[in-house]
């Protein structure tokens, strides 16, 4: 199924949780914040949040800035 991650369309396996997706993308969950369809997903809900077709995810972190 198709979802959008950080503006890019991606094909992922159905039934994937946010936690598993982060694992597959090799992203450390402790260093990022995830927004799903404009709602922030709490870190302790990553494992239990199942992705569905058409989801729009934003995965952000801190970078250098002034």
Q: Which residues bind another protein (CB under 8 A)?
A: 5-8, 25-28, 31-33, 35, 38, 40, 42-43, 58-66
CB of residue 9 vs another protein: minimum separation in angstroms?
A: 12
Is the Cβ of residue 9 or residue 53 nearer to another protein in the bound state?
Answer: 9
21 vs 61: CA distance, rounded Å? 16
| Tokens at 1, concatenated | 């199924």
Helix (H) or strand (E) holding 20: helix 18-24
Is the Cβ of residue 14 or residue 44 nearer to another protein in the bound state?
Answer: 44
């Amino acid at each position: 199924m198709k979802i959008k991650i950080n503006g890019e369309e991606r094909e992922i396996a159905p039934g994937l949780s946010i936690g598993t997706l982060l694992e597959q993308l090799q992203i450390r969950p402790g260093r990022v914040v995830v927004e799903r369809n404009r709602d922030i997903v709490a870190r302790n809900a990553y494992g239990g949040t199942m992705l569905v077709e058409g989801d729009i995810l934003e995965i952000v972190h801190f970078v250098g800035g002034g």
